[in-house]
């Protein structure tokens, strides 16, 4: 009896988003496996495809059609087991993407590219010699004695690993969450199982690598997008072969091919970077939950500032809440000094006098300082002093950021660059004003303030080269530099005992974002950055520069009062019907023809309103209305069940695609969005 393979073709379109049936020739029967790559005839072309099921009989939808044979096997390895095939199928439905996009997300790009390169060439797969996974200079990181609160948290995690509910570990900054994770992972390995540890930022992986490899040695494999291609590919294969027992990395490491998972840790679970912002727009937390359920593994969500939705879920009994309210060192949380910037004159220095004096004192005392500002470049924009128009990106609806050191204006969305203009393109004026300063200007000001100190700047511009993140953090950790300033890269997770002062510039800027989570995120940022201070034996101080000191998010951060913020936010969201009291699904339409985009998104909104299964807001222009020369409009749907809403939207868009009604216009479904820009 013949066998048939169901194959997802490597064509990313909704109209073809379903498996096609092919005969498995006898000569290829031993090579075609579930999850392998094959070459198949498709129309008049030859395409690559991914085997998602193998059957002994034709499925009903394939009967009556000519069943052509698979042409060749590109690689006979089983890249996806049944678990990841089921997971990616779920992702394609829940997040409204194609199954192909979900499958591709589950394999690192270097691995996928290497396999796809064999199409037509029939090259045999190359065997690579595994490199020593142990970092050459990782210090030993011995286990520490746990506090009573840490012991309780570890007990909750162990119970989760034995079939108990997921754990929300709410521990204040410096409470020792990492030590709890390390001991939980160690116990998981001792039980003969594997573990996964996820961090939200590449900047955090350096310190995490030091600690996990210092404790667990070569059992730890690191996976993230900044690794050299060959190294990333080999790490993935080592996990496939079962040679590594712990996967440590950022968002995409949630797909690490570990086959005996016993524990998944998501550190800083509140971070929006755990949500993929392009297709497939998956939530790392939900993917991890699915994988934990499949393996009957423990799941830990940890944060000093848990998301409102996660904390509400814990209050409702969906998670077990473990609280660590004290710092492991016994040191108090830092004292926060509020600096009201409203009365300062335009053109004043970025650093207020009180903070400047505190910086001088800490440097004189041979202590370290962290300065945070969520803006890179020298100034946010250049504005014509005559007509008031900022110099904008020609392809995006935002001003260009001025980077003085490189002598250029730059768009941080599409990458467009140009020299600073001498003449305003709008009115021919020649006088320009600088907008609010960024990391580059702050660096100049700090260098002039304390010329005797070595200052390091850490943002996307200074960490473009491979290894720069690690170099900067190592130099600061060693004490060679006294001041570290930067953007969100330095806002969380970093633990340096000599840091006794943190300065936060424009600390309430997050409140100006048009998003119902603005207050929550402002509080999270202020609390996380503040938590870098006073983690050693010397008490810490935080100087917080704001323009809206009366805002609840600011006051709650000053008083380290998460409960006050939570109660206010949960009440407001209940009244306005926002998560966790509903689910959100966002649909974005974009294209070069603004009128056509508006017509299509309006038709979609009218159709969805006619279904009477959800509340539809919009359509309106996205806050970032034009991106890479494409106009963007969106609708926001409030619903009770994400899957039903996504199915309704997907069916509508698939029908449009089959009728070729959307040429030149792209649609994106974003289930449970973390950003509305």
Domains of the chain are 3-116 (3.40.1440.60), 148-324 (3.40.50.300), 335-377+437-571 (3.40.50.300), 583-671 (3.30.70.600)
> What span, in angstroms and rounded, lies between the C-alpha atoms of 93 and 163?
27
Whole-number Å distance between alpha carbons of 548 and 578 = 25
Which run of H or of E encompasses 337? strand 335-340
The rounded distance, in Å, linking the Cα atoms of 174 and 172 is 6
CB atoms closer than 10 angstroms to residue 212: 25
Judged against a pLDDT cut of 70, whether residue 628 lies above it is answered with yes
Query: How many whole angstroms separate alpha carbon 372 and alpha carbon 118?
Result: 47
pTM of the predicted protein model: 0.91
The pLDDT tens digits for 117-170 are: 665 555 545 544 444 444 456 788 899 999 999 999 999 999 999 999 999 999
| Res 117: pLDDT | 62
Report yes or no: 435 and 383 within 8 Å, Cβ to Cβ. yes
d(CA 94, CA 90): 6
Cβ neighbors of 478 (< 8 A, separation 6 or more) are: none
Q: How far is CA 402 from CA 121, 351, 408, 544, in A?
A: 47, 20, 6, 25
Q: Is the pLDDT of residue 585 over 70?
A: yes
Selection from 208, 201, 206 nearest residue 177 by Cα: 208
The reported pLDDT for the residue numbered 659 is 78
Lowest mean pLDDT segment, chosen from 4-13, 28-37, 74-83: 74-83
The reply to whether omega before 619 is within 30° of 0 (cis) is yes
According to DSSP, the β-strands at 382-384 and 630-639 are unpaired
Ordered alpha helix ranges (H), 131-263: 148-161, 177-190, 202-216, 229-240
Is the bond leading into 580 cis (omega within 30 degrees of zero)?
Answer: yes
Q: What is the pLDDT of residues 396-414, one digit of tens each?
A: 888 888 888 888 889 988 8
CA distances 629 to 218, 249, 492, Å, are 47, 34, 35
Over residues 532-547, mean pLDDT: 93
Backbone torsions φ then ψ of 554, nearest 5 degrees:
-70, -50
Distance CA 548, CA 469 (A): 33
Residue 526, pLDDT > 90, answer yes
Considering 37-51, 74-88, 461-475, 561-575, the range whose residues carry the highest mean pLDDT is 561-575
Helix (H) or strand (E) holding 100: helix 99-105
Residue-wise DSSP of 545-591: EES-TTSHHHHHHHTT-HHHHHHHHHHHHHHHT-TTSSEEEEEEEEE
Q: Is the pLDDT of residue 516 over 70?
A: yes
Backbone φ and ψ for 270, nearest 5 degrees, come out as: -75, -15
Mean pLDDT of the chain: 90
CA–CA dist 530, 370 (Å, integer): 9
Query: How many Å apart are CA 474 and CA 206, to the nearest integer?
Result: 9
**Which residues, 6 or more positions from 184, have their beta carbon under 8 angstroms from its beta carbon?**
154, 157, 158, 161, 195, 263, 265, 298, 300
Query: How sure is the predictor about 307, in pLDDT bands with cuts at 50, 70 and 90?
Result: very high
According to DSSP H, which parts of 391-548 are helical?
439-449, 468-477, 518-530
Residue 440 and residue 170: Cα distance in Å, rounded? 35
Q: What is the pLDDT of residues 412-432, one digit of tens each?
A: 888 899 999 888 888 888 888
Least confident range from 40-44, 447-451, 569-573: namely 40-44
In this predicted model, what pLDDT tens digit does every residue of 313-363 receive, in sequence order? Answer: 999 999 999 999 999 988 899 999 999 998 776 667 899 999 999 999 999
Contacts of the segment 230-236: beta carbons below 8 A, 24+ positions apart: 230/110, 230/128, 231/131, 232/108, 232/110, 232/111, 233/108, 233/110, 233/111, 233/114, 233/128, 234/128, 234/130, 234/131, 235/133, 236/107, 236/108, 236/111
């Amino acid at each position: 009896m013949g066998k048939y393979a169901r194959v997802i073709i490597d064509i990313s379109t909704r109209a073809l988003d379903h498996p096609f049936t092919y005969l498995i020739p006898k000569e290829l029967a031993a090579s075609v496996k579930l999850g392998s790559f094959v070459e198949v005839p498709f129309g008049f072309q030859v395409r690559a495809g991914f085997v998602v099921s193998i059957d002994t009989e034709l499925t009903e939808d394939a009967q009556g059609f000519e069943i052509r044979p698979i042409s060749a096997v590109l690689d006979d390895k089983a890249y996806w087991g049944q678990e990841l095939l089921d997971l990616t199928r779920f992702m394609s439905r829940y997040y409204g993407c194609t199954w192909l996009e979900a499958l591709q997300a589950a394999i690192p790009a270097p691995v996928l590219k290497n396999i796809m390169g064999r199409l037509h060439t029939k090259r045999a797969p190359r065997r690579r010699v595994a490199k020593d996974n142990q970092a050459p200079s990782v210090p030993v990181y011995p286990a520490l004695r746990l506090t009573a609160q840490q012991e309780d948290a570890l007990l909750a995690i162990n119970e989760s690993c034995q079939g108990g509910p997921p754990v929300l570990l709410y521990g204040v900054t410096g409470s020792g969450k990492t030590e709890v994770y390390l001991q939980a992972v160690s116990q998981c390995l001792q039980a003969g199982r594997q573990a996964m540890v996820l961090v939200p930022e590449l900047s955090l992986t350096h310190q995490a690598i030091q600690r996990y490899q210092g404790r667990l040695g070569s059992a730890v494999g690191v996976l993230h997008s900044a690794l050299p291609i060959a190294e990333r590919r080999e790490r993935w294969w080592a996990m496939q072969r079962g040679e590594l027992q712990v996967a440590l990395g950022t968002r995409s490491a949630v797909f690490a091919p570990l086959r005996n998972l016993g524990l998944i840790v998501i550190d800083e679970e509140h971070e929006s970077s755990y949500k993929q912002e392009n297709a497939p727009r998956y939530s790392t937390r939900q993917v991890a939950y699915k994988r934990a359920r499949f393996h009957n593994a423990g799941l830990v969500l940890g944060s000093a500032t848990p998301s409102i939705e996660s904390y509400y879920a814990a209050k409702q009994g969906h998670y077990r809440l473990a609280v660590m309210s004290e710092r492991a060192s016994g040191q108090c949380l830092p004292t926060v000094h509020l600096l009201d910037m409203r009365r300062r004159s335009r053109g004043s220095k970025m650093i207020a006098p009180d903070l400047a004096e505190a910086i001088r004192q800490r440097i004189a005392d041979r202590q370290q300082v962290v300065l945070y500002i969520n803006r890179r470049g020298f100034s946010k924009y250049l504005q014509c002093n005559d007509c008031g128009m900022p110099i904008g990106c020609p392809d995006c609806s935002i001003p260009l950021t001025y980077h003085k050191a490189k002598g250029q204006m730059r768009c941080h969305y599409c990458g467009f660059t140009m020299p600073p203009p001498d003449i305003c393109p709008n009115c021919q004026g020649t006088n320009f004003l600088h907008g609010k300063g960024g990391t580059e200007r702050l660096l100049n000001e700090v260098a002039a303030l304390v010329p005797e100190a070595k200052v390091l700047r850490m943002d996307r511009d200074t960490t473009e080269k491979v290894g720069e993140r690690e170099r900067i953090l190592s130099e600061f950790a060693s004490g060679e530099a006294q001041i570290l300033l930067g953007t969100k890269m330095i806002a969380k997770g970093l633990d340096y005992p000599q840091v006794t002062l943190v300065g936060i510039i424009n600390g309430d800027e997050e409140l100006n974002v048009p998003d119902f989570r603005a207050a929550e995120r402002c509080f999270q940022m202020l609390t996380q950055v503040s938590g870098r201070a006073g983690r050693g034996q010397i008490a810490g101080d935080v100087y917080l520069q704001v323009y809206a000191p009366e805002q609840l998010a600011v006051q709650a951060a000053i008083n380290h009062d998460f409960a006050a913020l939570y109660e206010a936010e949960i009440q407001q969201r209940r009244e306005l019907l926002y998560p966790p009291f509903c689910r959100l699904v966002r649909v974005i339409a974009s294209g070069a023809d603004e009128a056509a985009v508006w017509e299509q998104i309006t038709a979609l909104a009218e159709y969805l309103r006619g279904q009477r299964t959800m509340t539809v807001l919009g359509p309106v222009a996205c806050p970032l209305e034009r991106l890479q020369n494409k106009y963007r409009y969106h609708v926001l749907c409030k619903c009770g069940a994400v899957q039903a809403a996504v199915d309704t939207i997907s069916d509508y868009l698939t029908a449009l695609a089959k009728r070729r009604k959307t040429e030149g216009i792209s649609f994106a479904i974003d289930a449970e969005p973390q950003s509305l820009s």
